[in-house]
Chain A
Amino acid sequence: AQKVTQAQTEISVVEKEDVTLDCVYETRDTTYYLFWYKQPPSGELVFLIRRNSFDEQNEISGRYSWNFQKSTSSFNFTITASQVVDSAVYFCALSEGEGAQKLVFGQGTRLTINP
């Protein structure tokens, strides 16, 4: 069965600090995809990144970076030099197989960046 666990319910840091959001997943499939979405107070889920199970290369996009480790079934997200605008709820999600499959989401981590 698919499962995504985000153990950190809430994180609060001061602006310019680095922060890492943890995500651990469970799946029996060898082909799967992992995602991170950002949900600001407006409610819309904003797509940030997708990784497939065959690509463990870490990715950096500006202040954002992602660490995918199959050995520990983890897909962690780091924000460097955090800013107030990064405050939001962040969701990690998993889909199995090819095509537009259902997304299984974690419970989310509420990140608050204080000025």
Chain B
Amino acid sequence: ETGVTQSPTHLIKTRGQQVTLRCSSQSGHNTVSWYQQALGQGPQFIFQYYREEENGRGNFPPRFSGLQFPNYSSELNVNALELDDSALYLCASSLPGQLITQYFGPGTRLLVL
């Protein structure tokens, strides 16, 4: 049990729409990272938040944006959805005092039609 939860579990959207994915971790998890995992691929780093500030970003366009809130929850927003955005989106959090290891939530499967 990682203490990291994500919602929703599955989502279907159409091209051009916007989507918000949510992640919740336990108290004290200061760092949250988001990853995109396309079918048959390894996860790709989208961005990371530390104490509500963006702390690193991968090779993703600006239509991928995020927020981290004081209650340790986080959001991933994707605007102008494209078919290639269909993937499993994973949220990961680090434990206080153990920043190096990231523990993952169950993910949200997004299908863009």
Interface residues in chain A, defined as those with a beta carbon under 8 Å from any beta carbon in chain B: 4, 33, 35, 37, 42-47, 50, 91, 93, 95, 98-108
Known: A35-B101, A98-B99. 9 other contacts (CB 8 A): A44-B104, A46-B104, A47-B103, A91-B43, A99-B99, A99-B100, A102-B56, A103-B33, A107-B41
B50 CB–A CB distance under 8 Å: yes
B33 with A100: CB separation less than 8 A: yes
B21 CB–A CB distance under 8 Å: no
Instruction: Among A44, A46, A105, A106, point to the contact of B107 (Cβ < 8 A).
Output: A44
Convert B63-103 into 0s and 1s, putting 1 for each residue whose CB lies closer than 8 angstroms to a CB of A: 00000000000000000000000001010101000011111
A33 with B45: in contact, given A43-B107, A43-B109, A44-B107 (CB under 8 Å)? no
Q: What is the count of residue pairs linking A and B with beta-carbon distances less than 8 angstroms?
A: 64
Query: In the complex, A46→B1 CA distance in Å?
Result: 9
Q: For residue B107, which residues in chain A have a CB less than 8 angstroms away from its CB?
A: 43-44
Least distance between B54 CB and chain A CB atoms (Å): 12
Instruction: Show 8 A/B contacts (Cβ-Cβ < 8 Å), sorted by A.
Output: A47-B104, A91-B42, A98-B99, A100-B100, A102-B33, A105-B43, A108-B41, A108-B42
Convert B4-43 into 0s and 1s, putting 1 for each residue whose CB lies closer than 8 angstroms to a CB of A: 0000000000000000000000000001010100000111
Q: For residue B41, which residues in chain A have a CB less than 8 angstroms away from its CB?
A: 107-108
A50 with B43: in contact, given A43-B88, A43-B107, A100-B50 (CB under 8 Å)? no
Query: In the complex, A91→B42 CA distance in Å?
Result: 7
B100 with A105: CB separation less than 8 A: no
B100 with A43: CB separation less than 8 A: no
Instruction: Among A45, A100, A106, point to the contact of B104 (Cβ < 8 A).
Output: A45
B105 with A44: CB separation less than 8 A: yes
Residue of B nearest to A99 (CB): B99
A42 with B106: CB separation less than 8 A: yes
Q: For residue B42, which residues in chain A have a CB less than 8 angstroms away from its CB?
A: 4, 91, 93, 105-108
